[in-house]
Amino acid sequence: MRTIIEPFRIKSVEPLRMTTRDERERLLREAGFNPFLLPSDAVIIDLLTDSGTSAMSAEQWAAMMRGDEAYAGSRSWYRFEAAVKDIFGFDIVMPVHQGRAAERILFSTLCKPGDVVPNNTHFDTTRANVEATGATALDLVIAEGRDPTSRHPFKGNLDVDRLRAVLAEHRGRVPVCMLTLTNNSGGGQPVSMANARAVSALCREFGVPFYIDACRYAENAWFIKMREEGYSDKRPIDIARELFALADGCTMSAKKDGLANIGGFLATRDERLATRERDLLILTEGFTTYGGLAGRDLDAIATGLYEALDEDYLRYRIRSVVWLGERLLEAGVPIMEPPGGHAVYLDARRFLSHVAPRDLPGQSLVVELYREAGIRAVEIGTVMFGRPDPATGEEGVAPLDLVRLAIPRRVYTQSHVEYVVEAVTNVWHRRDAVRGMRFTYQAPTLRHFTARFASL
Ligand code: F0G
């Protein structure tokens, strides 16, 4: 059969409330034109994020009923620890309530002012947690990764030559180097095994710990299976094991490829480091066998980490995202090519080519998608990563202005995605009438969450 179907059927449904254009117009104004400030009840198709929004399986719900809520040493914890060790191969596992807690514990243990942390591209919380320690976050993705039209199969790869130069220049001041799988801020693009191997070897040469941001490890493993020579016969779980064997540790948000609604972990092979990290874990997350999670959450994750590696699931997952990307390309809509693993990213700079980058084309496009059809997306560009110049107040623009249509896992059907295609195409046809935006309020860090805007 050529048709790839959702490899599941639906047992429980959640009604969607339809809104009118007038209602959406009023809600947009009340939300300061920031979709983060909209009530989800007024969103028809929610593509804000693939994080924590997965539909859990019957097996996961059953696992939740087995959850053991003991404060210390619960059965759920042992199942969680066993699953993480089996797939990721690290001896030491610390549960956390979500990915950024792992980041905070890792970076506040390792980094100090003046340090430099390289990554292919830091995600927003990763960058913020590095910068909160006084260290500098450096994005070293390959040049193709910044070119929305390049069809390079592994656009998430880190530029190894630039990494070598950074490690040589900042010798002794690089406490950790990271690779984000897949590269979320750069379009959900995968990293190849060869690149992970090269980064790992270089880190070893310079004595720098190598960590993986593992959020979308299963989707990245699928791309390696599909695109990298020598991997087509390997199982995703074996590809994942091979990847993590290259690393000294990882941070993980189980809200993505853990197929869970909350949770994550920090893992390492370094007992001395872990001793310091556990103190921080207990201080704010909780005891070392639950880390801010209920026993039932640990069980849902232990099950979800394996389900995310299922080949039928991954084939459907990646194909359904590509399908959305292909329909948009057919309609002439500029997107980050090729489509990523968890999302299609509209290229707002080409989509609204008459809006200058400092006039926030990504934000304008996000607003139009909601206005048009009640679709919520997120800007990944100047709003998220730009900074006003301290002297002039002039907006410093990000390398790309993207609008991410993130696809929650196992949640929407093909007709939902067809609705999205129609909405984006409608906005594309009336794009010349869309105006830019400006900030009316912004917080000093992670400004995109709470910012407010006005139309120009
Ligand atoms: N790293 C990456 C690559 C991420 O995409 C995220 C979250 C995190 C770390 C932090 O994890 O949210 O569990 O604290 N990304 C979400 C998103 C929020 O929408 O892409 P968290």
For the segment 71-100, what is each residue's pLDDT rounded down to a tens digit? 999 999 999 999 999 999 999 999 999 999
Atom 18 of ligand 1, nearest CA residue? 51
Q: What is the mean pLDDT of residues 350-372?
A: 97
Q: What is the mean pLDDT of residues 404-412?
A: 98
Task: Report in angstroms the alpha-carbon separations of 71 from 77, 254, 256, 292.
Answer: 10, 21, 26, 11
Question: What CATH code would you report for 21-50+311-455?
Answer: 3.90.1150.10
Residues of the chain with CATH 3.40.640.10: 58-307
Q: What is the mean pLDDT of residues 414-433?
A: 97
CA of 123 to the centre of ligand 1 (A): 7
pLDDT at 388: 78
Atom 9 of ligand 1, nearest CA residue? 99
Q: What is the mean pLDDT of residues 159-181?
A: 98
Q: Which atom of ligand 1 is nearest to the CA of 49?
A: 19
Q: What is the mean pLDDT of residues 105-117?
A: 97
pLDDT at 390: 77
Which residue out of 36, 48, 50, 51 has the highest number of ligand 1 atoms within 8 Å of its CB and is therefore the one to mutate?
51
What percent of the chain is modeled with pLDDT above 90? 94
pLDDT value at 211 more than 90? yes
* CA nearest neighbour of 296 among 83, 97, 85, 77: 77
User: Beta strand 343-347 with 264-268: parallel, antiparallel or unpaired?
Assistant: unpaired
Q: Indicate if ligand 1 lies below 6 Å from the C-beta of 119.
A: no
- Provide the 8-state DSSP code for 344: E
pLDDT at 185: 87
CA of 351 to the centre of ligand 1 (A): 26
pLDDT at 389: 78
The CATH architecture one would assign to domain 58-307 is: 3-Layer(aba) Sandwich (3.40)
* CA nearest neighbour of 257 among 324, 195, 341: 341
Helices (H), 255-294: 271-280
pLDDT at 314: 98
Q: Indicate if ligand 1 lies below 6 Å from the C-beta of 263.
A: no
Which pLDDT band, with edges at 50, 70 and 90, does 395 fall under? confident
CA of 256 to the centre of ligand 1 (A): 8
Atom 8 of ligand 1, nearest CA residue? 99
CA of 121 to the centre of ligand 1 (A): 12
Q: Which atom of ligand 1 is nearest to the CA of 184?
A: 3
CA of 309 to the centre of ligand 1 (A): 19
Q: State the DSSP H helix or E strand holding residue 127, giving kind and residue range, or none if neither.
A: helix 124-131
Residues of the chain with CATH 3.90.1150.10: 21-50+311-455
Which pLDDT band, with edges at 50, 70 and 90, does 107 fall under? very high
Which pLDDT band, with edges at 50, 70 and 90, does 385 fall under? confident
pLDDT at 396: 85
Q: Indicate if ligand 1 lies below 6 Å from the C-beta of 303.
A: no
pLDDT at 444: 85
3-state secondary structure 71-99: CCCCHHHHHHHHHHHHHHCCCEEEEECCH
- Provide the 8-state DSSP code for 189: B
Q: Which atom of ligand 1 is nearest to the CA of 342?
A: 20
